[in-house]
Amino acid sequence: MTAPKKLYIKTYGCQMNVYDSERMSEALGGEGYVPTETPDDADMILLNTCHIREKAAEKVYSELGRFRSLKDEKPDLKIGVAGCVAQAEGAEIMARQPLVDLVVGPQSYHRLPELERKARAGEKALDTDFPEEDKFDHLAGRPKAKRAPTAFLTVQEGCDKFCAFCVVPYTRGAEVSRPAEQVLREARDLVERGVREITLLGQNVNAYHGHDGGLAGLIWDLDKIDGLERIRFTTSHPNDMDDALIEAHGTCDKLMPYLHLPVQSGSDRILKRMNRKHTAEQYIRLIERIRAARPDLLLSGDFIVGFPEETDADFADTMALIETVGYGQAYSFKYSTRPGTPAAERAQVAEDVKSARLQALQALLREQQQAAQDTMVGREVNVLFEKPGREAGQMVGKSEYLHAVHVTGDVPVGDIRRVRILQSNPNSLAGALS
């Protein structure tokens, strides 16, 4: 019997890349590959890359350089680069790093088995097309192995918004939505394998149009699946939060009271320069409507500081918006240029100014996050338990509000239990089973 080949995938970036890596592993499973946790014993290494963060391509080249000695020791080892850096850099990756055997973009990874066969035959395999066929139609059915109780499920890809700082429209392409029945079929399969919570993913997930009722219509159909207890979605754009989706937050019990809704800046001038197509006031009024529908909603957001031409007054507007809205969680970054995007050609803010602004903004966000956690002390929440904790006898899970919660007690993975919160820690909550 032939020994299985081993596949090591390193995943960078967002949850959509986590989902993509799972599907890549499944696609190569048909070629005899099984996952491994270390590159040292792998027969194939795949880097599933992200182009959002600063110097993303350089970090990939640096990582590839670490595999040079491994490739020398194992000449049959195949190395591939996938994801958004692969899409953006294409043939340049192979030219700059000859040890790379295959490069595949995020819309073409259903072709991985064919590319792998080419690489095994000694050919360089490159595919960064935006194919006409739907990759999800060509991916094999997901294996029936038992799953962790939470899972990501991509329902929408690409973006038509063309924010001035963002490469997604160029690396992921135009907005495309998966047909609702295809999504529901995959969701049912995940639930059969033990999944109790599904997070719907998209670069602009609330622009989903694969269901006549939009994202809200899809959520209501998912709500009917027995055994699926929790539904979440990310990432959203303020301009696509329609009335039906707002209503679902107030009426669908399985839709969790957590929403990630990036605003990026509180300055109307900067929002316009970012091509966000909404104002700070419109964003604030939208939050008020959503909270009216679901008063206990925990809000998460994204912020970019030091965007080209941002003044002290613009930054003050962002701080004022954060004070007004109140966030339970947030992600914040210094602006960094992305070649080919409009903002890359504009006058840049000094690096020390960016750093000072980011430090001030993150201090405010940490204060709000801690305050949101502190208000949970004394309350009872429902926790979906996912894994053992670091200490003996401890179990860890997530509340409805996506807070990490740990308890001492024997709780099976996948159980949802009532927990009384006793203590608020910097990044988690401690509780006792009710």
Record the tokens describing residue 118, joined without a space.
Answer: 């080419």
Residue 235: asked if its preceding bond is cis (omega within 30°), the reply is yes
Tens digits of residue pLDDT in 11-27: 987 788 888 898 899 88
Could you give the dihedral angle defined by the CA atoms of residues 349, 351, 356 and 362, in that order, rounded to the nearest 10 degrees? 90
For residue 137, tell me if it sits in a domain.
Answer: no
Mean pLDDT, residues 392-396 taken together: 94
The residue among 107, 109, 241 whose CA lies nearest residue 174 is 107
The residue among 3, 23, 6, 27 whose CA lies nearest residue 15 is 23
73 with 173, same domain?
Answer: no
For residue 415, tell me if it sits in a domain.
Answer: yes
Residue 179 lies in domain: 144-256
248 with 277, same domain?
Answer: no
User: Residue 182 carries which side chain, given as an amino acid letter?
Assistant: Q
211 with 181, same domain?
Answer: yes
Q: What are the distances in angstroms from CA 243 to CA 208, 221, 267, 359?
A: 14, 17, 25, 36
Record the tokens describing residue 352, joined without a space.
Answer: 């020390």
Name the pLDDT band for 53 (thresholds 50, 70, 90). low
163 with 84, same domain?
Answer: no
Picking from 328, 353, 375, the residue at the C-terminal end of a domain is 375
**CATH number of the domain within which 123 lies:** 3.40.50.12160
Q: How many domains does the chain have?
A: 4
Record the tokens describing residue 120, joined without a space.
Answer: 């095994």
Query: Tokens 């995959």 belong to which residue?
Result: 186
Q: Does pLDDT of 173 surpass 90?
A: no
- Given a contact cutoff of 8 angstroms between Cβ atoms, the answer to whether 227 and 190 are in contact is no
Threshold 0.75, pTM exceeds:
yes
Which runs of E-coded beta strand occur in 158-244?
176-177, 197-202, 230-234
159 with 148, same domain?
Answer: yes
Q: Does pLDDT of 137 surpass 90?
A: no
- Given a contact cutoff of 8 angstroms between Cβ atoms, the answer to whether 5 and 33 are in contact is yes
202 with 311, same domain?
Answer: no
Mean pLDDT, residues 317-336 taken together: 97
419 with 395, same domain?
Answer: yes
If one compares 235 and 172, the residue with the highest pLDDT of the two is 235
- Given a contact cutoff of 8 angstroms between Cβ atoms, the answer to whether 160 and 174 are in contact is yes
Tens digits of residue pLDDT in 250-298: 999 999 999 999 999 999 999 999 999 999 999 999 999 999 999 999 9
271 with 236, same domain?
Answer: no
For residue 139, tell me if it sits in a domain.
Answer: no
258 class by beta-carbon count within 10 Å (0-12 exposed, 13-18 middle, 19+ buried): buried
Which runs of E-coded beta strand occur in 205-363?
230-234, 258-260, 298-305, 329-334
∠ CA 406-411-414, nearest 5°, is 90
